[in-house]
Amino acid sequence: MNLEPLWQASFAVKLHVFTVVPAFVLGAWQIFASRKGAPLHRAIGFAYLLLMTITALSTLFIHTPNFGAFEIGGYQWSWIHLFVPLTLFGVWNALRGAQTHDLARHKGGVFGSFIGGAVIAGALSFQPGRIMHSIVTGG
């Protein structure tokens, strides 16, 4: 493991990594281990949703030319950027579902933001040539 690529990365990349890692841990705990509806579940859930929102928004400032699948406004965007609206939509639904006691909406929002925004997008960030791949492989 080599953290040098992370230390050399832009502020947006650092912010993204430093919010998504705890969000992943909190999200996994919320889904699989927490007692639903308990005060701790609510507090950690709010922290998770806040971290996922920051994670998604920070992604909008990450542009890697060699992974540009399309260009908008002179910026290169990769396919991973398509998870930003999915994540924000999931966060919104998780919050609204909790506020209105619509548990199906709440569960769907949390699950969608976690699977789409943390698990799938996270797995894609380990592709060769990306910073996370360099960190893990030492390259």
What sign does the CA torsion over 123, 70, 51, 6 have?
Answer: positive
- How many Å apart are CA 131 and CA 32, to the nearest integer? 29
Q: How many CB atoms lie within 10 A of CB 89?
A: 16
Residue type, 18: F
Collapsing DSSP states into helix, strand and coil, what is residue 15? helix
17, 63 contact by CB (below 8 A): no
pLDDT digits (tens, 9 = 90+) for 21-41: 999 999 999 999 999 999 999
pLDDT digits (tens, 9 = 90+) for 70-121: 777 777 788 888 899 999 999 999 999 999 999 999 999 999 999 999 999 9
